[in-house]
Structure 1
Amino acid sequence: MSASTTRSVTEKSPSTADPPPIDVSIVIPARNEAAYLRGALSSITALDTAYEYEVIVVDGASTDGTRAIAREYGATVLEEDGSSIAVARNLGASRADGEWLAFIDADTRVRADYLTEMLGFVEREGLAAASSRCRMTGPLRAKVMEATINELFPRLASPVLPGFNCVVHHRAFGEVGGFPDVPNEDTAFSRRLGRQYPTAYHPDVLVASSGRRIAADGLTGTLWHYLRLDVGRLRSSRA
């Protein structure tokens, strides 16, 4: 729902009025992320937006200060056993009140206009979900993945929406069953969602994220899978 959309509500006195509807729920899975989480939450605190949002941190049995940092920034903290990042994201979504879900990771930082630009984009284009460009730090293979995300993924028949930077309509997320609990869960989710709903990349929004978790096998597998499935589209887009 756009921040400018007029909402029909029953008038009540200030003492009994309902809280404002939540436009966006920002879901952050985190396990022992004390070294990174503060940066992510600081960037969210600096958001310049008219959208109403909430922040949900799903803690995967951390043994460091992750939960304390999340509470310091006013986030809702949910706890799960750390079984997988897909389980954590799905738990956060199940407790979210927002019409839209924004998934980022604990080592992702967004710019002040992130929510305004991303929600404006999906609403304007009639999309169920979107991602955007990124800048990744870390080893050389992280820069390869950055180039892949920025140049290849948007051209796919069903664009890959990385789990560290994804905005999706809550209803559509539920209808496809959320993130499957499999390796490369975000690519599997993107393919499933893209079969039913339009998705795309915002070309002018940039987030920053760490490339510390990228494994060579995972990168190679992802590239091969989507190149094989979408080689025809890639050829036509370059023609």
Structure 2
Amino acid sequence: MSASTTRSAVEDSSSTPAPPPIDVSIVIPARNEAAYLRGALSSIAALDTAYEYEVIVVDGASTDDTQVIAREYGATVVEEEGSSIAVARNRGASHADGEWLAFVDADTRMRADYLTEMLGFVEREGIAAASSRCWMTGPVRAKLMEATINQLFPRLASPVLPGFNCVVHRRAFHDVGGFPDVPNEDTAFSRRLGRQYPTAYHPDVLVASSGRRITDDGLTGTLWHYLRLDVGRLRSS
């Protein structure tokens, strides 16, 4: 190949701009979530942010239109056998290109400034992960969980970062091995992460959730676990 041909090829290549780096990968585990997923993806499409982001929907062997809806909104669909939500979240993270990972659920609705606020917060505070206060619809026990998340979790020595609303740096996520495949996987993940990295809560309500998965056992079990571990800190605060 002549020098002029080589130069021309380089010039042609350089004239095509490289794709912008991905700041955030939004990971959504979903199994038969057609009734909710459109709302979540609509809220993501309405984000008002300068950050570059991608959306990854991890489909757990759905038999409804979950995949169709995900692709309708331009999301990358990653298939998973539906073994557990922890496995789904970790699989989504393994396909992510973002520096930050944002984990939300199919029934989570982001406020338009969610990414701008959350990434500005973690960068400003120099922390590895964060959640925010939330608003929940549903039965009384869902409102009890809302109060727990908004009032108790931020005061813990290692704040609980709910899986439906969590932003974490990819390096920290991989350092701790992702979400453990256990009951209350997000609380276990939060505790493991908090032992190695600083985490915190954004003080504003930035997401809404249906609260449909909250059960009395899940709520009381989580409360007891963290009250037992952090009773000293809570008494002194």
Return the TM-score normalized by structure 2. 0.94
- Per the alignment, residue 149 of structure 1 pairs with 149
Q: Could you say what secondary structure the match of 2:49 adopts?
A: coil
Give 1:163 deviation, angstroms: 0.1
SS at match of 1:43: helix
Aligned equivalents of 2:206, 2:72: Cα separation in 1: 26
**Is 1:58–1:88's contact at 8 Å kept on the other side of the alignment?**
yes
Q: Post-superposition shift, 1:13?
A: 2.4
Question: Residue in 1 aligned with 2:176?
Answer: 176
Find the counterpart in structure 2 of residue 98 from structure 1.
98
For the 8 Å contact 1:130–1:201, the answer to whether it is kept is yes
Q: What amino acid does structure 2 have at the position aligned with 1:108?
A: T
**In 2, distance between residues paired with 1:57 and 1:129?**
21
The residue that corresponds to 2:45 in the other structure is 45
CA distance in 1, matches of 2:164, 2:218: 15
Matches within 5 A, 1:201-212: 201-212=201-212
Q: Secondary structure at the match of 1:103?
A: strand
AA of the residue aligned to 2:72: E
Larger mean Cα displacement after TM superposition, 168-177 or 201-210: 201-210
Distance 2:189 2:222 in 1: 13
- Structure 1, unmatched stretches of 5+, are 1-10
> Larger Rg: 1 or 2?
2
Conservation of the 8 A alpha-carbon contact between 1:114 and 1:205: no
Tell me the residue number matched to 1:189: 189
Q: What SS class does the counterpart of residue 224 from structure 2 fall into?
A: helix
Q: Is 2:110 the counterpart of 1:110? A: yes
Q: Indicate the residue corresponding to 1:55 in structure 2.
A: 55
Q: What is the alpha-carbon distance in structure 2 between the residues aligned to residue 181 and residue 135 of structure 1? A: 27
Offset of residue 191 of structure 1 = 0.1
Letter in 1 for 2:222: T
Cα distance in structure 1, aligned partners of 2:15 and 2:43: 32
1:14 is displaced (CA, Å) by 2.9
CA distance in 1, matches of 2:222, 2:208: 21
Measured after TM superposition, the shift of residue 119 of structure 1 is 0.1
Aligned to 2:80: 80
Question: Matched residue of 2:181: which SS?
Answer: coil
Of Structure 1 and Structure 2, the greater helix share is in 2
> Is 2:9 the counterpart of 1:14?
no
1:235 positional shift: 1.0
Bigger mean CA offset, 224-233 vs 204-213 = 204-213
Query: Sequence identity, in percent?
Result: 89
Instruction: State whether residues 159 and 190 of structure 1, in contact with CA within 8 Å, keep that contact through their aligned partners in structure 2.
Output: yes
Are the equivalent residues in 2 in contact too, given 1:153–1:160 (CA < 8 A)? Answer: yes
CA contact (8 A) 2:135 2:205 kept: no
Separation in 1, partners of 2:95, 2:225: 32
Work out the CA distance in 1 between the residues paired with 2:218 and 2:204: 27
1:8-44 Cα deviation digits (max 9, x unpaired): xxx96232x3210000000000000000000000000
- Per the alignment, in what secondary structure is the counterpart of residue 82 of structure 1? coil
Question: Match of 1:222?
Answer: 222
Q: Which moved more, 1:52-61 or 1:205-214?
A: 205-214
SS at match of 1:162: coil
Q: Which runs of 5+ in 2 are unaligned?
A: 1-10
Q: Is the 8 A contact 1:59 1:67 kept in 2?
A: yes
**Conserved in 2, the CA contact under 8 Å of 1:117 and 1:205?**
no
Report whether the alignment pairs 1:126 with 2:100. Answer: no
TM-score by length of 1: 0.93
Shift of the alpha carbon at 1:224? 0.2
Letter in 1 for 2:66: T
Residue 6 of structure 2: aligned partner: none
Tell me which amino acid in the other structure corresponds to 2:128: A
